[in-house]
Structure 1
Amino acid sequence: MLYTINTKSSIDSIKEDMASRAKEQGFGVLKEYHFKEILSSKGCPIEKDITVFEVCNPGAAQTILDTYPEVSVFLPCRISLYEIDGETILSTIGIDNIIDNFALDNEIKNYMNTIFEKVKKIMNTWQ
């Protein structure tokens, strides 16, 4: 259900390059969530540096949402960045495993798979 890659790249270098890498695939970064800072400010500190990037391809979102607003629960696309045991990990929801549970026509399913491949390309640029 998740698509995950491990990389030798540092968290800081990925944070720095995410917007440009997303742009290469037709996406923009809408927002970044730095959970370490967010939770600390709420009095619930965590040790791990976890960042989630919300990325969006506006044209793709328009195409899908005009016909299937229920898909909005998965938008924008989210890419998580964190470390486990000294290894940097990028992770996202495996949309290709989920779309079969929606009553979508095959053309939209294929389109969503194409968009998911672009999200994976963003992530794989750090491999």
Structure 2
Amino acid sequence: MIYKITTDTPLQTVKDEMMAHAKEAGFGVLGTYEFQKILQSKGLDLNQEITGYELCSPKAAQDVMNELPEMSVFLPCRISVYEENGKTVLSTVNINDVMHTIDASQDFKEHMNSVYAKFVGIMKSWN
């Protein structure tokens, strides 16, 4: 259900370049969440830096919501970035897994798999 990759690219570099890499793939960054800072502001500790990004391809979002409004729970698309075992990790929901569980036309599923491939391309762009 979760798609996860690692890269040797430093965490800060990935964070600094996320907006540009998303734009190259046709996505915009709608929001950024520095979870460690958010929790610290609430008096709670998080033992590592985790940053969440909300990304959107407006046309793909429109297609999803017009075809299957219930899929809006997965929007906007998200990527989390953090460190694990000395590597930078990028993770997201594996939409290909989700597509196998929904009742939709094959054309729609293929279109969404194509959009997801572009999204995964963002994640792989640091390798």
Normalised by the size of structure 1, how large is the TM-score? 0.97
Q: Which residue does the alignment assign to 1:114?
A: 114
In structure 2, the residue corresponding to 1:101 is in which secondary structure? coil
1: distance between equivalents of 2:67 and 2:84? 39
Corresponding residue SS for 1:17:
helix
**Cα separation, 2, equivalents of 1:67 and 1:2:** 24
3-state SS of the aligned residue for 2:109? helix
AA partner of residue 97 (structure 1): D
Q: Which amino acid aligns with 2:18?
A: M
- Cα distance in 2 for partners of 1:91, 1:59 equals 23
What per-residue deviation string (whole Å, max 9, x for no partner) do you get for residues 80-124 of structure 1? 100112211001111001111111111111111001101110000
**Which residue in 1 is equivalent to 2:57?**
57
Aligned pairs for 1:98-113 (under 5 A) are 98-113=98-113
Question: Aligned-pair RMSD on alpha carbons?
Answer: 0.8
Q: What residue number does 1:2 align with? A: 2
Amino acid at match of 2:11: I
Does 1:48 pair with 2:48?
yes
**Normalising to structure 2: TM-score of the pair?**
0.97
Structure 2 residue aligned with 1:30: 30
| Alignment partner, residue 86 of structure 1 | 86
Structure 1: segments with no counterpart, 5+ residues:
none
Matches of 1:103 and 1:73, distance apart in 2: 16
Matched residues in 2 for 1:87 and 1:67: separation? Answer: 38
Aligned length: 127
Q: Could you say what secondary structure the match of 2:100 adopts?
A: helix
Question: Identity across aligned pairs (percent)?
Answer: 43
* Other structure's SS at 1:102 match: coil
Q: Structure 1 CA distance, aligned partners of 2:40 and 2:46?
A: 7
Partner-residue secondary structure (3-state), 2:44: coil
The answer as to 2:6 corresponding to 1:11 is: no
